[in-house]
């Protein structure tokens, strides 16, 4: 399954799509990038005079790349004919180490811990453009077609 097909099956659109590119994907891992546009809606009030990307948005970016894209890829291996995918995040545990500012590009790396009974659990990490760890954690979600 190619990047264009995976991205077309995502259940998101602008302004809530946080994926620019899938770099690599296989049955065990995915990596991708996103650049946070300086005019994004969430910067207007977070924080006044010093905008910083909210942790919940960083978590969402990691979930979209590291959980949903990988889940779409894995489900397609099971049943390639079906196109629509549903997802519900069931848990997240994140540690944050550095801020992400408007205009910054991040890279998300995700490794599958397990995928069974349509539940996907992954170890995810986010890095800045200088390859510094921004945040990391564990995400899990239910995938269905």
For the question of residue 46 being annotated catalytic, the response is yes
103: left (phi over 0), alpha (psi -120 to 50) or beta: left
Cβ contact 80:88 at 8 Å:
no
φ, ψ at 91 (rounded to 5°): -160, 155
Is the CB of residue 136 less than 8 Å from the CB of residue 125? yes
Among 12, 46, 52, 96, the active-site one is 46
Identify the DSSP state of 115: E
Question: Which residues participate in catalysis according to the annotation?
Answer: 46
């Amino acid at each position: 399954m190619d990047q264009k097909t995976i991205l077309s099956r995502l259940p998101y659109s602008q302004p809530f799509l946080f994926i620019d590119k899938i770099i690599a994907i296989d049955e065990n891992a995915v990596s991708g990038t996103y650049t946070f546009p300086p005019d994004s809606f969430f910067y207007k009030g977070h924080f006044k005079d010093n905008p910083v990307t909210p942790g919940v948005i960083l978590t969402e970016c990691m979930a979209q790349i590291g959980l949903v894209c990988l889940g779409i890829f894995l489900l397609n291996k099971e049943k390639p004919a079906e196109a629509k995918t549903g997802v519900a995040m069931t848990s997240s545990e994140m540690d944050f180490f550095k801020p992400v500012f408007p205009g910054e590009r991040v890279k998300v790396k995700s490794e599958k811990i397990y995928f069974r009974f349509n539940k996907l659990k992954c170890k995810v990490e986010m890095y800045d453009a200088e390859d510094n760890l921004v945040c990391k954690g564990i995400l899990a979600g239910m995938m269905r077609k």
